Amino acid sequence: MASANLNIRTDKEVKDAAEKIFEALGLNMTTAVNMFLRQTIRENGIPFELTLNVPNKVTAAAISEGRALAYDSSVKGYSSMSELKAALEE
The 3-state secondary structure of 39-86, one letter per residue: HHHHHCCCCCCCCCCCCCHHHHHHHHHHHHHHCCCCCCCCCCHHHHHH
pLDDT digits (tens, 9 = 90+) for 15-70: 999 999 999 999 999 999 999 999 999 999 999 988 888 889 999 999 999 999 88
What's the Rg (C-alpha) of the chain? Answer: 25
With cut-offs at 50, 70 and 90, classify the pLDDT of residue 11: very high
| CA atoms within a 13 Å half-sphere pointing along the CA-CB vector of 66 | 6
pTM score > 0.85 for this model? no
Long-range pairs for 56-59: beta carbons < 8 A, 24 or more residues apart: none
pLDDT at 10 (0 to 100): 97
